[in-house]
């Protein structure tokens, strides 16, 4: 695969065969040639799980203490008192049948997070073919199907992200933007690490986290010293 000049310049900034402490890896990322946009910083895990088995699925949510670095647009499917609570909590769009119709007939998906009260799911569930592939379908496991819509909206706005292991055992999560200072990125990384470790399925035997890598949208990956990274949690 042909790599960009910027990517190739980034490779020379560090030893790709080495493992680095988290703060050092973040510093390397910030020293790399910059793109013309504020790149997302991502942590990638290779996990010792077999996602084909339901009891080894790893998924969850975490609120990044320093936020995601971008404005989150929230849609809430609700009626009555919960509709009022969602609006007061700062939801961008709140309603019921009108938004269900707009999505089903127009394919409208101009939002980042969808939240629904449990009583709305019989109707919202019909939108699965549209919202599901885009990762926008409300789900009780991710806290987006709830009567406590105020809490869900505030968490989404504050920087709650979802993660889920893919079929090859890899898991990716954003920890902010390259414009964040190193301490902000480290704090967000700590939150993701802690949540992924706590999400370890009881059915998994042996090594759970095989490797951890940091990268930006356009950069090569930097391998973390796993012992040092997990040591942050102690």
Written as six digits, the tokens of 187 are: 């704090």
- The last residue of one of the domains, among 157, 184, 219, is 157
> For the chain, first and last CA: distance in Å?
40
Count: domains in the chain? 2
Residue 180 lies in a domain: yes
**At residue 208, what are phi and psi to the nearest 5 degrees?**
-90, -60
Residue 5: band (very low, low, confident or very high) from pLDDT cuts 50, 70, 90: low
Entry pTM: 0.81
Residue 8 lies in a domain: no
Average pLDDT over residues 213-221: 91
C-alpha dihedral sign at 199, 197, 114, 105: negative
pLDDT in tens, 21-41: 999 999 999 988 888 899 999
- Work out the angle between the directed axes of helices 149-158 and 80-89 (0-180°, nearest 10): 20
pLDDT in tens, 123-177: 999 999 999 999 899 999 888 999 999 999 999 999 899 899 999 999 999 999 9
Residue 6 lies in a domain: no
Say whether both 170 and 59 belong to one domain: yes
Residue 5 lies in a domain: no
Which CATH number characterizes residue 179's domain? Answer: 3.30.190.20
- The last residue of one of the domains, among 113, 130, 157, is 157
- Which residue has better confidence, 1 or 188? 188
Say whether both 24 and 139 belong to one domain: no
């Amino acid at each position: 695969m042909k790599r960009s000049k910027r990517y190739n310049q980034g490779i020379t900034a560090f030893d790709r065969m080495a493992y680095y402490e988290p703060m050092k890896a973040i510093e390397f990322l910030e020293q790399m040639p910059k793109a013309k946009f504020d790149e997302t910083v991502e942590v990638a895990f290779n996990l010792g799980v077999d996602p084909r088995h339901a009891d080894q699925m790893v998924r969850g949510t975490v609120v990044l203490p320093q936020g995601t670095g971008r404005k989150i647009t929230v849609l809430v499917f609700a009626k009555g008192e919960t509709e009022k609570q969602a609006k007061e909590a700062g939801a961008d769009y709140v309603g019921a049948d009108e938004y269900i119709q707009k999505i089903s007939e127009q394919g409208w998906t101009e939002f980042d997070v969808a939240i629904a009260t449990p009583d709305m799911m019989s109707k919202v569930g019909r939108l699965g073919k549209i919202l599901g592939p885009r990762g926008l379908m409300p789900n009780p496991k991710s806290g987006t199907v709830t009567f406590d819509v105020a809490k869900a909206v505030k968490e989404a706005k504050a920087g709650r992200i979802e993660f889920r292991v893919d079929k090859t055992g890899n898991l990716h999560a954003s920890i902010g933007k390259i414009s964040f200072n190193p301490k902000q990125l480290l704090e967000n990384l700590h939150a993701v690490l802690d949540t992924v470790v706590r999400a370890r399925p009881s059915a998994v035997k042996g090594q759970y986290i095989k490797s951890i890598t940091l990268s930006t949208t356009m950069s090569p990956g930097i391998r973390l010293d796993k012992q040092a990274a997990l040591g942050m949690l102690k």
